[in-house]
Amino acid sequence: MSIETWKKEFYPTDPSKLMSDKDAILHSIKKWEGLTKENLERHDVYIHNAHLYDDYGYGFEICSDTCSLCVKYLTRHLTLNNCYKCPLYKKLGFSCGHGKSNDGWNKWEFDNNPDLMIKNLKSLLVDD
């Protein structure tokens, strides 16, 4: 198993600005479910500095470029990153990485635990 098998299961397509909100949310959930300890172990990949690596050294970055919601909604104006149209921003009231105890990105970044991000993303589907 490898990054390639992980991507085939959890990131089979690249995100697009043209995705519907629901498709972007489902795409994000799938990626974050791939970051659970069990799924990382099953594919023999590990996390280091917000990247996934396998024994071959191949990396896959977990960042705004690989987030379907960021691809769809993030606008960059000079030094200002603006996500105010993102459904997750609307729900939580802050950008990923800038929140408090309910910030799934911070929880993952500091603890390698994607559970809060998965929970937050799934809560968006309930609101549909």
pLDDT tens readout for residues 19-66: 999 999 999 999 999 999 999 999 999 998 889 999 988 889 999 999
**What's the mean pLDDT when you consider all of the chain?**
90
Q: Are 104 and 114 in contact (CB under 8 A)?
A: yes
Evaluate if residue 78 carries a pLDDT over 60.
no
How many folded domains does the chain comprise? 1
| Cβ(75)–Cβ(68) below 8 Å | no
**Is the whole model's pTM more than 0.85, yes or no?**
yes
> Using an 8 Å Cβ cutoff, are 32 and 74 in contact?
no
68: containing domain: 3-126
What confidence tens digit (pLDDT) does each residue in 86-125 have? 999 999 988 888 877 888 999 988 889 999 999 999 999 9
